[in-house]
């Protein structure tokens, strides 16, 4: 292929709407976390309407992780999942534009020029056969998949909402788009100071009525109601019965339901529910991860000492989950260190944090670890200066996250109290952050 032909091919690839052109975060931490998260999603038989999009994203992730053959297999599965879910007479449709764009990129990266050209032609044919209903806008299928994908990467939530709204405006009968739109809105405001506005709560209610079998959304809606002061205990228990009857997946609603129980029902009932789910499905790794997240908070708000058996259960469950999620287990390892600390096993906590701090982590993972370690040495070891040092390390990493925000807020509070001999150093550090 001549240089001119190669340049033309590259320009065509760059113009595609697919995962390879959407400027997604390629950090290894994010890729490994999403790979595990997407594997835990349900199948077509379990009613997961985004399965084709999930395989598309998995294909991109596996390629970025250097697993090209697996990527090719997953992208082929995406096309088949779309055919099953759309249940149309034709095997082709606008929902394949992103998939074929991904395959064009994959074959290009593998130096398979003929296959790349073939998929570029398929993309052109699909766009010509299924033009967007709105001139100068992308097809709604593309907007929906782009919104769903960006939502997984925690990118600009306003942009995600805009893409969903565009898709819904052009194709308003797609129930799963409405549902994912409100789930995205809820997620973006869950940890914000503003909280859920009445308008979004009403949108959640409407989406729930149109998608009554979506128990994930049902759990989020109950949680939103509880935040507004409504007593939801009886409804939560009824929802739990329904969730337990569903096939296990990250889409089944068990994770938000357990969070709802922990915060608004009781920690003990949350643990009982997690254990009941495990009794029904003892080999499901996703349930073990959900249960571990329940146990990580067993020390909070308790007046009486915990039974030794519960502490041992929490530790063993965390250790098992770490082996089940070897590439995305950092948060679980941090929670385990904190369980050691809170159960007066300081030596184990110190050793685990020491081992974690030696790891070669990418910036996102390092920022999380530094923030948690700063809290650990402050509350567990009463070493305020070391805590400040690690909050500074977390804040110095130019990665917008809740961990960085928390570390900066902590440093600002210490500066405002003006009781620490490092206040002058903290002030200089924070001022430099604002300038750079």
d(CA 175, CA 249): 20
* 29-33, 107-111, 304-308, 408-412, range with the lowest pLDDT: 304-308
d(CA 212, CA 214): 6
d(CA 309, CA 292): 15
Token look-up 């940890």 returns 191
d(CA 357, CA 351): 10
Cα dist. 136→17, 133, 378 in Å?
14, 9, 55
**Residues near 367 by Cβ (< 8 Å), separated by ≥ 6?**
394, 397, 399, 401, 403, 404
pLDDT at 44: 47
Interval 211-258: pLDDT, tens: 999 999 999 999 999 999 999 999 999 999 999 999 888 889 999 999
pLDDT at 251: 87
Domain count, the chain: 1
Rg (CA), the chain: 24
Token look-up 């992208």 returns 75
d(CA 157, CA 314): 35
Interval 144-166: pLDDT, tens: 999 999 999 876 788 999 999 99
Kindly state whether residue 282 falls inside one of the protein's structural domains. Answer: no
d(CA 116, CA 64): 18
Query: Mean per-residue pLDDT for 392-397?
Result: 97
Kindly state whether residue 206 falls inside one of the protein's structural domains. Answer: no
Kindly state whether residue 106 falls inside one of the protein's structural domains. Answer: yes
CATH number of the domain to which 75 belongs:
1.25.40.10
Record the tokens describing residue 358, joined without a space: 């030696």
Interval 98-141: pLDDT, tens: 999 999 999 999 999 999 999 999 999 999 999 999 888 999 99
Cα-Cα-Cα-Cα torsion 99, 103, 105, 109, nearest 10 degrees, comes to 150
Interval 279-294: pLDDT, tens: 999 999 999 999 999 9
Residue 429: pLDDT band (50, 70, 90) is very high
Kindly state whether residue 371 falls inside one of the protein's structural domains. Answer: no
3-state secondary structure the chain: CCHHHHHHHHHHHHCCCCHHHCCCCCCHHHHHHHHHHHHCCCCHHHCCCCHHHHHHHHHHHHHHCCCHHHHHHHHHHHHHHHHHHHCCCCCCCHHHHHHHHHHHHHHHHCCCHHHHHHHHHHHHHHHHHCCCCCCCCCCHHHHHHHHHHHHHCCCCHHHHHHHHHHHHHHCCCCHHHHHHHHHHHHHHHCCCCCCCCHHHHHHHHHHHHHCCCCHHHHHHHHHHHHHCCCCCHHHHHHHHHHHHHCCCCCCCCHHHHHHHHHHHHCHHHHHHHHHHHHHHCCCCHHHHHHHHHHHCCCCCCCCCCCCHHHHHHHHHHHHHHHHHCCCCCHHHHHHHHHHHHHCCCHHHHHHHHHHHHCCCCCHHHHHHHHHHHHHHHHHCCCCHHHHHHHHHHHHHCCCCCHHHHHHHHHHHHHHHHCCCCCHHHHHHHHHHHHHC
Kindly state whether residue 156 falls inside one of the protein's structural domains. Answer: no
pLDDT at 297: 85
pLDDT at 192: 63
pLDDT at 411: 97
* 3-7, 51-55, 310-314, range with the lowest pLDDT: 3-7
pLDDT at 330: 96
Across the chain, mean pLDDT equals: 91
Kindly state whether residue 120 falls inside one of the protein's structural domains. Answer: yes
Size of the chain, expressed as the number of residues it contains: 436
Single out the residue of 213, 211, 133, 220 nearest to residue 177, CA to CA: 211
Kindly state whether residue 229 falls inside one of the protein's structural domains. Answer: no
Kindly state whether residue 271 falls inside one of the protein's structural domains. Answer: no
d(CA 424, CA 435): 17
Number of neighbours of residue 152 by Cβ within 10 angstroms: 19
Domain that holds residue 8: 3-129
pLDDT at 18: 98
């Amino acid at each position: 292929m001549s240089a001119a032909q190669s340049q033309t091919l590259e320009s065509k690839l760059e113009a595609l709407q697919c995962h390879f052109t959407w400027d997604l975060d390629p950090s290894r931490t994010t890729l490994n976390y999403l790979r595990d998260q997407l594997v835990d999603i349900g199948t077509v038989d379990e009613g997961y309407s985004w399965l084709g999009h999930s395989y598309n994203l998995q294909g991109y992730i596996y390629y970025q992780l250097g697993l090209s053959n697996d990527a090719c297999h997953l992208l082929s599965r995406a096309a088949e999942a779309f055919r099953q879910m759309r249940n149309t007479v034709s095997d082709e449709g606008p929902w394949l534009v992103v998939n074929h764009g991904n395959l064009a990129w994959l074959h290009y990266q593998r130096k398979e020029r003929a296959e790349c050209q073939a998929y570029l032609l398929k993309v052109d044919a699909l766009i010509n056969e299924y033009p967007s209903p709105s001139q100068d806008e992308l097809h709604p299928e593309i907007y929906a998949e782009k919104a769903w994908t960006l939502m997984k990467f925690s990118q600009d939530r306003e942009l995600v909402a805009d893409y969903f709204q565009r898709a819904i405006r052009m194709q308003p009968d797609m129930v799963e788009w409405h549902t994912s739109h409100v789930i995205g809105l809820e997620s973006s405001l869950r940890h914000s100071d503003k909280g859920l506005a009445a308008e979004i709560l009403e949108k959640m209610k409407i989406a729930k009525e149109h998608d009554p079998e979506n128990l994930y959304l049902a759990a989020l809606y109950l949680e939103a109601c509880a935040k507004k002061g409504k007593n939801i205990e009886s409804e939560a228990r009824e929802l739990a019965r329904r969730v337990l009857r569903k096939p296990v997946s990250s889409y089944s609603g068990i994770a938000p339901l357990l969070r709802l129980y922990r915060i608004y029902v009781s920690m003990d009932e949350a643990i009982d529910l997690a254990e009941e789910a495990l009794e029904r499905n003892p080999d499901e790794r996703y349930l073990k991860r959900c249960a571990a997240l329940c146990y990580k908070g067993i020390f909070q708000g308790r007046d009486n000492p915990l039974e030794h058996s519960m502490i041992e259960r929490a530790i063993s469950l965390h250790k098992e989950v770490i082996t089940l999620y070897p590439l995305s287990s950092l948060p679980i390892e941090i929670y385990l260190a904190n369980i050691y600390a809170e159960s007066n096993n300081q030596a184990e906590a110190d050793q685990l944090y020491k081992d974690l701090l030696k790891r070669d982590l990418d910036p996102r993972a390092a920022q999380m670890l530094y923030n948690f370690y700063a809290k650990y040495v402050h509350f567990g070891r009463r070493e305020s200066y070391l805590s400040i040092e690690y909050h500074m390390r977390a804040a110095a990493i130019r990665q917008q996250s809740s961990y960085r925000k928390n570390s900066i807020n902590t440093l600002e509070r210490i500066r405002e109290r003006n009781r620490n001999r490092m206040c002058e150093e903290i002030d200089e550090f924070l001022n430099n952050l604002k300038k750079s």
